[in-house]
Structure 1
């Protein structure tokens, strides 16, 4: 038994039968009679198969990686390759005749399996021949691209090239291409923008050294200033990443300060905290930047309360307390405590509540940013306790 005959038992393909070559007329009759499914598993010699020049994939792995994969195929082929017949393919792309040579079949997917088999000298592989995938240029490229989009190792530039090819066969209609792929038109536009970047930047994206989000940002900058070269864009990228790192560190420091009970001034610099700050003497108050100021006494000798703009707002009896917008919030009771504010103000949901902007600055604007900031600042037990406490107030 030859090596090729030992390839792939075919049991993993369920009920798809393996067959030899049939004439088109004989196959059509068999399908019409229900003797065989619309497509069947066949064994094809690799010598009569050609990859399509349209495949956006360029990186199939090193020779060592292909050889390792080929040895696995020698034992068992878990998935069949997909191909269309030469005649159907050349009806769509007659100018590819010289490029596919004498091949009788053209790959739709499975090129890495094909290359790996050649690398270790295998003679044949299992195929499914599906001419219905090539009823139009759009249909063929759509199927070619969808198969690759599902791969985790399909790098962003390869994907962008595939999208570009699909847009081309859709006569430049990005909306039509997006519909075929089940994506928004903006997604297609962003993919094409990556291909406007210099090759050096595209190489960073392909290697995974630059995030796709960063690539899109550089593409926007390049559109605004076409004179930017590869070196300029790399420098800009490094500046952007450094700024983002500094902002993340600033947020971490703010959260650490809040967690440790340190006081930060309005410009986020440390301000010494008095040991007994919570029990400040009757003749001192705090200004808006958390520094102590002497409170001027009233004619009766009672210390007055300063508003946030540090002006003496004492009333006729020297007992009124002013809110942050300099409106009366109540008079201390005989016990010296300040009457309760309205439920809206006390809960922090009122429009005058001043902690909301600070919290957003500390945690970020989006729920994702807020969750990341809290996770970075607190342990799992502390977060669980926080969630439990919040559930009481919600």
Structure 2
């Protein structure tokens, strides 16, 4: 599955999106070669639900959403990707109660555009229907991760949450998750372990106030001692920082002394 294929429909759409064909008409058109496996459609947003499995929570500020919505009102340059509600519920039947009974589609990519469009009162967006990406829970979640990882504001905790959901979709097979993400199993475990940390620590990781390397160290410490509070872990972070500063200072001092010795030796010679 290539990213180019995943983004079929990219381009300046304007109002070129078609209204959905009937299932019978769509199947006939595909069999006759009149349309590709998926085509650009103009979908009423009242018939589209956000994806309950999307690990992303940060969609920017209200001002940023307003600006995006106004931009979409002028021209939509990239189609949203959706799957039919039926295809989604085949994967997660229990979600029938948390998806709208009136909806016909579930978003797979484009929730930020969807939210921005709703905010400024747009009624429809250009979409492509990709039920071929909903053949298994693992493939669905893998696609969600690929799309979100391209976003600059996809934070550490959102990524960890997505990996945890992908792990569940892969029936707990961490090796399969690592293969799909191009990483090793220890990386997968270290990322998901961040979700065990107290909420206050997770917030610091999500906002970038705490470096990921400290988060991993704190997660290991918390695993060994669950009685540690958020304050205890913050104190540990400070100790780790102090140790790093001391090591850097020692290295700089050693380099300074070596340089001084070289200068003295050269002068003597």
CA drift at 1:255: 2.3
CA drift at 1:13: 5.7
Q: Which runs of 4+ in 1 moved over 4 A?
A: 260-263
Partner of 1:28: 27
Q: Bigger CA drift: 78-87 or 134-143? A: 134-143
CA drift at 1:48: 0.8
2 CA distance for matches of 1:259 and 1:25?
A: 80
Partner of 2:59: 60
Cα-to-partner distance string for 1:263-318 (whole Å, 9 max, x where unaligned): 8xxxxxxxxx7x99837xxxxxxxxxxxxxxxxxxxxxxxxxxxxxxxxxxxxxxx
> Match of 1:107, SS?
strand
TM-score, reference length from structure 1: 0.62
2 CA distance for matches of 1:240 and 1:95?
A: 44
Partner of 1:139: 139
> Match of 1:128, SS?
strand
> Match of 1:19, SS?
coil
> Match of 1:12, SS?
coil
What are the equivalent positions in structure 2 for 1:1-394 lying under 5 Å apart? 12=11, 18-101=17-100, 102-261=102-261, 278=268
2 CA distance for matches of 1:246 and 1:76?
A: 55
Cα-to-partner distance string for 1:313-370 (whole Å, 9 max, x where unaligned): xxxxxxxxxxxxxxxxxxxxxxxxxxxxxxxxxxxxxxxxxxxxxxxxxxxxxxxxxx
TM-score, reference length from structure 2: 0.89
CA drift at 1:104: 0.9
In structure 2, do the counterparts of structure 1 residues 254 and 27 end up closer, same or farther at CA, with 3 Å as the change threshold? same
Partner of 2:4: none
Partner of 2:5: none
Partner of 1:285: none
2 CA distance for matches of 1:126 and 1:31?
A: 20
2 CA distance for matches of 1:228 and 1:188?
A: 24
RMSD between superposed Cα atoms in Å: 2.2
> Match of 2:20, SS?
coil
- Relative contact order higher in (CA < 8 Å, ≥ 6 apart): 2
Cα-to-partner distance string for 1:134-174 (whole Å, 9 max, x where unaligned): 11222211211221122222101000000101111222111
Count of aligned pairs: 258
2 CA distance for matches of 1:262 and 1:201?
A: 47
Structure 2 alignment gaps of length 5 or more:
1-8
CA drift at 1:205: 0.4
CA drift at 1:260: 4.5
In structure 2, do the counterparts of structure 1 residues 29 and 65 end up closer, same or farther at CA, with 3 Å as the change threshold? same
> Match of 2:51, SS?
coil
Cα-to-partner distance string for 1:190-245 (whole Å, 9 max, x where unaligned): 11111111111110000011111111111112222222211111000011112212
2 CA distance for matches of 1:154 and 1:276?
A: 54
> Match of 1:243, SS?
helix
2 CA distance for matches of 1:55 and 1:277?
A: 67
2 CA distance for matches of 1:256 and 1:74?
A: 61
2 CA distance for matches of 1:142 and 1:25?
A: 30
> Match of 1:74, SS?
helix
CA drift at 1:34: 1.3
Structure 1 alignment gaps of length 5 or more:
1-9, 264-272, 280-394
Instruction: Give the number of the structure whose residues are more often helix, by fraction.
Output: 2
In structure 2, do the counterparts of structure 1 residues 44 and 258 end up closer, same or farther at CA, with 3 Å as the change threshold? same
